[in-house]
């Protein structure tokens, strides 16, 4: 909001809410008009989520909800627009964070896509993979993802240790839940000391997706809304990890948190 | 005196055997040829005469070549004598008016003169003979040095004409020309050089130690001890040795100050009461790499006998072991992520980061119990720890929420004192972040306008233009030279920039948008440096997100430019010596006044090649008088083809100075400075407290004795081996026989005679 509006008292708090909502509508409209990212254009400097277009699953609603929660809870200036890119498209280099969801086996990635993703993930990119099988994790998607990841990096997925900084990059988390709770763990691939690939089998997208009228699109089982909150926190932590890496492992933070747990005064 | 003569001939022929044989063979050949030549002469007498003349010539030549000389040797028995040597250095003038050390030394010398076999000398830096005690007494104790080694060597050389029965050295023991330095406190025996000098005397050295009946009032900084090198921003222990005397009746404390390149770093009160010799432990934090000259000084007390010894200097080299970076980010972003990766990837960087993680409206959705958030320790960082960092990075950091205003004095002091700050832009910084009109804006290399129609932030792709200064500036040099660097910058773009920024006077804008709006600028603030980059999209370079053509190699090149830019920026901000085009090399130790003092200068162009023929300007300013930037008011030499030059700074008085040199490279002024310390010329005046330590060592090594204050009433003891009255001394006199004119005339006569007879007898 321009400073001059507030300084001259032209906008009172309810009015500012209205303006924000109006601005949001304009932005949504602009997104619809502009459409997904196009290769060759410069990316936005802001944090913008992009999803890999390899199947019929469209996670736009979930990603927008994800962005909304992140903007609400953290200082991350996430772009409300999301983008869809094909893995072989050089435009993936406009988006350091990629999201790949599926409920069935995706088609085999082209060699160009594999090379692109390898380069992307080797130089600081992050890929979050979400198994969005309806009743349970899709075995077909699971095996296809593992196969394609082995083409990108010749190493199997490994379990993210419970004490890893991902579980405290913002929220303190004990487990990695989504719409489902098939597994309490995350799996990942380390590249250059950091997890460049993170894989959840619990349909994170399903917990975040909203209906067009605003309510959540799907029920969360078995934990209900508590589990949904946990899933949202995981989503926040994943994005925070992509942006801050091991920031919360810094000595200053660890020292303070240990003191805080023991009831001592912090800095 | 009995005298014995002995004469003989000495031959000086020192040729090798091969040369001697060759000469003899040549002589024989000449005689043989002569014989063949004169065989045609019928008369036997004539043949004999001619052969005799030629033979005589050859023999005479051989004698000349052998260089014979007549040596007359006379041996005589010389009387052994006692050398009485009195110290007349300036320190001997100390003491009360009626009982100066000099006066007491004269009395001791007078007591030894009695038996008539005494040679009198005084000494300072050299040995000075005196005909008698009256002449010695007229001398003044004003020599500007004490050189015991010169005394020993001088006496040893005099021994050739008269052996010494004994040597009496009357002194306060304050050598300042090498013996003291070679035999530091704690030494139990003399060093080899001094022992060698002492043995040349072949006589015992007795010392009469002249101290003060009542200690003189003085405080001396005897030494400053520090490691020869240290690390930036790491505390360095400094030991200051103090010598206090004559202050038993004075209470209170001494004010001890430690200065680094003329700037007072530590002030400490030291109680006067205590041991006469004591060591005070201090520590200081060097801020810059390079030569640091430390000065420990005690504020003079009233009635001190001298204040020349109230300060001492020592030099040390400071290097950077690790770079400590404080990274403050207004919010997590891709820009923070890739900068963190860059910084963490450098093993020589210690990174401390604080990111603002929560937005203003997070409310109950973010509780301390559920999150790992910690409070931003602004007070601890800005009030306690700031000086421990080499570089502060503010990344899209808003001014308001964290009360930066209250910490601006500390931040300003940090920068003025040599710190470095890099401000990276974004929608929350500069004008958009509320910097306008604040003290923070005053620290930046750009001015931040208070209002802007665009809110201080302009979106969209930004093409980049390098300014003439920026083309070759080390902070923005992305290529091997200015031309390549300019081309690289023009290939890259940024998304979004901070607007309403104006160049600040004295700063340099290195990169702009096509309209001339600053994108990258650098400036200096006091001894510190600042830089700003008005965008938050540099991460796209790190990720290879913006390349003209597709391909991994282009992305890799773009990534390398990202890392190169931050390396160059950091190096410039941290005054990396390798990045400075103009470098000067001043002596790392204090230079005594009156001695030649030179400062080396090295100049390179923007491409790192030696810059030849560049005119230098310089100034030498006393550090105590330095206010602001010193103007270079002297024309210096020009650089040679190697880019080198030497500044002669002779004639400076004792004190600490800042030598400032300037040169112009590619239209840009280069400036470098270094501290220079000129030590007091009169070292003698700095040593006040008498000490018998050296005298004890000298006497012990020569089987002598040290007497306190006066000569022994029974005269100096002489060891049994030297009880004889004298020694046989030989005198040689050489007379050269071969170089006399008679020899030359005889040679000419022989040759002319032979020639005349040959002509007369019809021979060729």
| CA-to-CA dists, residue A168 to A68, A130, A174, B369, B701, angstroms | 20, 20, 9, 12, 76
| Residues facing B604 on adjacent strands | B610
pLDDT surpasses 60 at A20: no
Specify the pLDDT at position A145: 96
Reading phi first (left if > 0) and then psi (alpha if -120 to 50, else beta), residue B95 is in left
Q: What torsion do the CA atoms of B473, B474, B475, B480 make, to the nearest 10 degrees?
A: 100
Predicted pLDDT of residue B367: 79
- Quick check: B333 and A243 CB within 8 A? yes
- Helices B192-199, B148-158: axis angle to 10 degrees equals 30
Least confident among B22-26, B153-157, B236-240, B551-555: B551-555
Q: Which residues of B touch A243 (CB under 8 A)?
A: 332-334, 336-337
Q: Check CB contact under 8 Å for B365 and A123.
A: no
B580 or A107, greater pLDDT = A107
Confidence band (pLDDT; 50, 70, 90) for B547?
A: low
CATH of domain B580-679: 2.60.40.10
Q: How far apart are CA B626 and CA B724, in angstroms?
A: 69
Interface with chain B: mutation pick from A47, A247, A253, A255, highest number of B CBs within 10 Å: A247
Answer yes or no: is pLDDT of A6 > 80.
no
Instruction: State residue B93's pLDDT score.
Output: 87
A47-61, B676-690, B718-732: range with highest mean pLDDT: A47-61
Q: Which tops the pLDDT comparison, B40 or A24?
A: B40
C-alpha to C-alpha distance for B393 and B330, rounded to whole angstroms:
11
State the pLDDT at residue B88: 93
Q: Into which CATH architecture does domain B81-211+691-723 fall?
A: 3-Layer(aba) Sandwich (3.40)
Share of chain A above pLDDT 70, in %: 79
- For B118-134, b/e burial (b = at least 16 CB within 10 A) is bbbbbbbbebbebeebe
Q: What is the mean pLDDT of residues B9-24?
A: 83
Q: Is A174 on the interface with B (CB under 8 A)?
A: no
Instruction: Spell out the CATH class of B218-319.
Output: mainly beta
Q: What is the pLDDT of residues B148-198, one digit of tens each?
A: 988 999 998 887 777 888 899 999 998 887 787 788 777 788 888 889 888
Residues of B in contact with A123 (CB under 8 A): 542-544, 555, 559
Q: Percentage of chain B surpassing pLDDT 70?
A: 91
Q: What pLDDT is attached to residue B675?
A: 80
State the DSSP string of B290-346. Answer: EEEEEEEEEPPPTT-S-STTSEEEEEEEEE-S-EEEEEEESS--HHHHHHHHHHHT-
With cut-offs at 50, 70 and 90, classify the pLDDT of residue A232: very high
Spell out the residues 6+ positions from residue B580 whose beta carbon is closer than 8 angstroms to its own. B474, B670, B672
More confident residue, B102 or B385: B102
DSSP B570-589: HHHHTT-GGG-SEEEE--SS
More confident of the two residues B437 and B72? B437
Give contacts of A 92-131 with B, CB under 8 A. Answer: 93-94, 96, 115, 119, 123-125
pLDDT above 70 (res A25): no
What residues does each domain of chain B span?
A: 3-76+733-760, 81-211+691-723, 218-319, 323-359+374-573, 580-679
* pLDDT average, residue stretch B617-624: 85
Task: Return the higher-pLDDT residue of B59 and B288.
Answer: B59
B123 pLDDT above the threshold of 80: yes
Report which of residues A28 and A63 the model is more confident about: A63
How does pLDDT run across B198-211, given as a tens digit for each residue?
888 888 999 999 98
pLDDT at A131 over 80: yes
The pLDDT of residue B682 is 56
- Exposure string (b/e) for B13-52, b if CB count within 10 Å is 16 or more? eeeeeeeeeebeeebeeeeeebeebbeebeeeebbebbbe
Least reliable range by pLDDT among B465-474, B551-560, B718-727: B718-727
DSSP state for residue B371 in the 8-state scheme: B
Chain B residue with the nearest C-alpha to that of A115: B552
Q: What is the pLDDT of residues B322-343, one digit of tens each?
A: 889 999 999 999 999 999 999 9
B24 vs B72, higher pLDDT: B24
Per-residue pLDDT of B264-321, as tens digits, reads 899 999 999 888 889 999 999 887 777 787 889 999 988 888 888 888 888 787 887 7
Q: What is the dihedral of CA B426, B432, B438, B440, to 10 degrees?
A: 0
Give residue-wise pLDDT tens across range A240-257.
999 999 998 887 777 766
Domains B81-211+691-723 and B580-679 are alike in CATH topology: no
Average pLDDT estimate for B336-362: 89
Which among A47, A169, A267 has CB closest to B333? A47
Give φ, ψ of B98 to 5 degrees. Answer: -95, 0
Q: pLDDT tens for residues A62-121?
A: 999 999 999 999 999 999 999 999 999 999 999 999 999 999 999 999 999 999 999 999
Residue of A nearest to B360 (CA): A75
Range with the lowest mean pLDDT among B26-30, B276-280, B406-410, B604-608? Answer: B604-608
Is CATH 3.40.50.2300 the classification given to domain B323-359+374-573? no
Per residue in B733-763, pLDDT (tens digit) is 778 888 888 889 999 999 999 899 888 887 7
The band of B703, judged by pLDDT with boundaries at 50, 70 and 90, is: confident
ipTM: 0.84
Flag if A96 and B334 touch (Cβ within 8 Å). yes
Q: Mean pLDDT over all residues of chain B? A: 85
Kindly report the nearest CA distance between residue A147 and chain B, in angstroms. Answer: 24
pLDDT (0 to 100) of residue B42? 81
The band of A2, judged by pLDDT with boundaries at 50, 70 and 90, is very low
Phi then psi for residue B498, to 5 deg, are -75, 140
Residues of A whose CB is below 8 A from B451:
3-4
- Which one of B374, B401, B494, B552 makes the best mutation probe of the A interface by having the most chain A beta carbons within 10 Å? B374
pLDDT at B433: 84
Q: Is the dihedral of CA A88, A158, A192, B396 positive or negative?
A: positive
């Amino acid at each position: 909001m321009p400073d001059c509006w507030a300084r001259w008292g032209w906008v009172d708090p309810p009015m500012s809410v209205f303006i924000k909502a109006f601005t949001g509508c304009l932005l949504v409209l602009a997104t619809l008009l502009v459409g997904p990212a196009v290769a060759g254009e410069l990316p936005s400097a802001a944090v913008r989520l992009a999803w890999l277009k390899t199947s019929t699953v469209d996670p736009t609603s979930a990603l927008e909800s994800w962005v909304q929660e992140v903007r609400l809870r953290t200082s991350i200036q996430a772009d409300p627009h999301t983008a869809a890119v094909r893995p072989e498209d050089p435009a993936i280099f406009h988006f350091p964070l990629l999201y790949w969801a599926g409920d069935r086996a995706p088609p085999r990635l082209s060699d160009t896509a594999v090379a692109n993703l390898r380069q992307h993930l080797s130089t600081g990119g992050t890929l979050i993979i979400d198994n969005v099988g309806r009743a349970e994790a899709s075995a077909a998607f699971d095996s296809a993802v593992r196969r394609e990841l082995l083409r990108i990096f010749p190493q199997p997925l490994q379990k993210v240790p419970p004490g890893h900084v991902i579980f405290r990059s913002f929220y303190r988390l004990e487990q990695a839940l989504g719409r489902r709770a098939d597994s309490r763990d995350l799996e990942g691939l380390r590249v250059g000391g950091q997890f460049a690939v993170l894989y959840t089998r619990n349909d994170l997208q399903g917990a975040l997706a909203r209906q067009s009228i605003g309510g959540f699109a799907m029920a969360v089982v078995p934990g209900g809304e508590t589990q949904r909150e946990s899933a949202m926190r995981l989503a926040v932590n994943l994005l925070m990890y992509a942006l801050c890496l091991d920031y919360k492992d810094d000595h200053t933070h660890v020292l303070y948190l240990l003191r805080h747990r023991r009831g001592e005064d912090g800095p | 005196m009995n005298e014995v003569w002995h004469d003989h001939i000495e031959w000086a022929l020192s040729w090798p055997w091969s040369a001697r044989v060759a000469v003899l063979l040549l002589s024989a050949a000449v005689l043989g040829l002569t014989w063949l030549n004169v065989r045609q002469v019928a008369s036997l007498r004539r043949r004999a005469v001619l052969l005799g003349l030629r033979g005589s010539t050859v023999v005479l030549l051989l004698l000349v070549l052998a260089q014979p000389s007549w040596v007359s040797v006379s041996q005589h028995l010389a009387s052994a004598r006692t050398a009485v040597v009195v110290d007349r250095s300036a320190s001997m003038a100390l003491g009360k008016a009626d009982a100066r050390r000099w006066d007491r030394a004269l009395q001791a010398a007078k007591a030894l003169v009695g038996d008539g076999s005494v040679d009198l000398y005084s000494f300072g830096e050299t040995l000075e003979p005196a005909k008698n005690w009256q002449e010695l007494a007229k001398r003044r104790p004003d020599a500007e040095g004490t050189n015991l080694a010169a005394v020993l060597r001088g006496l040893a050389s005099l021994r050739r004409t008269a052996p010494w029965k004994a040597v009496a050295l009357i002194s306060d023991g304050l050598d300042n020309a090498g013996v003291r330095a070679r035999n530091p406190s704690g030494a139990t025996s003399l060093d080899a050089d001094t022992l060698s000098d002492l043995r040349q005397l072949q006589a015992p050295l007795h010392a009469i130690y002249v101290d003060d009946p009542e200690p003189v009032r003085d405080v001396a900084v005897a030494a400053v001890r520090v490691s020869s090198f240290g690390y930036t921003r790491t505390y360095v222990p400094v030991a200051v040795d103090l010598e206090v005397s004559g202050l038993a009746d004075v209470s209170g404390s001494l004010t001890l100050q430690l200065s680094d390149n003329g700037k007072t770093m530590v002030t400490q009160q030291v109680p006067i009461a205590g041991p006469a010799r004591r060591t005070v432990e201090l520590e200081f934090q060097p801020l810059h790499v390079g030569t640091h000259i430390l000065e420990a000084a005690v504020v003079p007390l009233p009635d001190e006998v001298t204040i020349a010894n109230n300060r001492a200097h020592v030099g040390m080299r400071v290097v950077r072991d690790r770079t400590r970076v404080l990274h403050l980010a207004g919010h997590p972003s891709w820009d923070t992520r890739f900068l963190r990766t860059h910084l963490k990837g450098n093993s020589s960087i210690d990174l401390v980061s604080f990111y603002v993680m929560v937005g203003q409206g997070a409310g109950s959705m973010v509780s301390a119990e559920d999150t790992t958030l910690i409070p931003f320790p602004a007070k601890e960082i800005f009030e306690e720890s700031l000086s421990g960092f080499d570089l502060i990075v503010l990344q899209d950091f808003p001014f308001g929420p964290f009360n930066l205003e209250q910490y601006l004095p500390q931040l300003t002091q940090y920068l003025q004192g040599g710190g470095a700050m890099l401000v990276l832009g974004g929608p929350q910084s500069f004008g958009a972040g509320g910097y306008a009109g604040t003290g923070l804006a005053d620290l930046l290399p750009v001015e931040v306008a208070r209002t802007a129609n665009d809110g201080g932030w302009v979106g969209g792709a930004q093409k980049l233009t390098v300014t003439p200064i920026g083309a070759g500036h080390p902070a923005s040099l992305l290529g091997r030279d200015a031309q390549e660097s300019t081309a690289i910058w023009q290939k890259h773009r940024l998304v979004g920039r901070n607007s309403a920024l104006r160049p600040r006077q004295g700063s340099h804008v290195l990169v702009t948008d096509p309209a001339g709006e600053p994108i990258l600028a650098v400036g200096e603030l006091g001894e510190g440096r600042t830089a700003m980059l008005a965008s938050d999209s540099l991460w796209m370079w790190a990720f290879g997100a913006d390349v003209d053509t597709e391909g991994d190699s282009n992305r890799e090149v773009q990534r390398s430019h990202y890392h190169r830019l931050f390396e160059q920026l950091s190096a410039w901000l941290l005054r990396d010596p390798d990045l400075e085009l103009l470098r000067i090399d001043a002596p790392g130790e204090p230079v005594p006044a009156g001695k030649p003092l030179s400062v080396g200068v090295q100049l390179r162009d923007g491409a790192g090649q030696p810059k030849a023929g560049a005119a230098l300007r310089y100034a030498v300013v006393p550090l105590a008088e330095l206010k602001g930037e010193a103007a270079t008011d002297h024309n210096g030499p020009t650089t040679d083809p190697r880019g080198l030059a030497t500044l002669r700074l002779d004639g400076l008085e004792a004190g600490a100075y800042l030598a400032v040199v300037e040169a112009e490279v590619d239209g840009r002024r280069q400036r470098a400075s270094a501290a220079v310390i000129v030590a007091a010329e009169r070292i003698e005046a700095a040593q006040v407290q008498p000490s018998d330590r050296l005298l004890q060592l000298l006497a012990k090594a020569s089987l002598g004795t040290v007497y306190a204050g006066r000569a022994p009433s029974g005269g100096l003891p002489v060891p049994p081996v030297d009880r004889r009255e004298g020694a046989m001394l030989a005198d040689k006199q050489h007379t050269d026989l071969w170089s006399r004119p008679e020899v030359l005339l005889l040679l000419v006569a022989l040759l002319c005679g032979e020639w005349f007879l040959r002509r007369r007898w019809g021979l060729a």
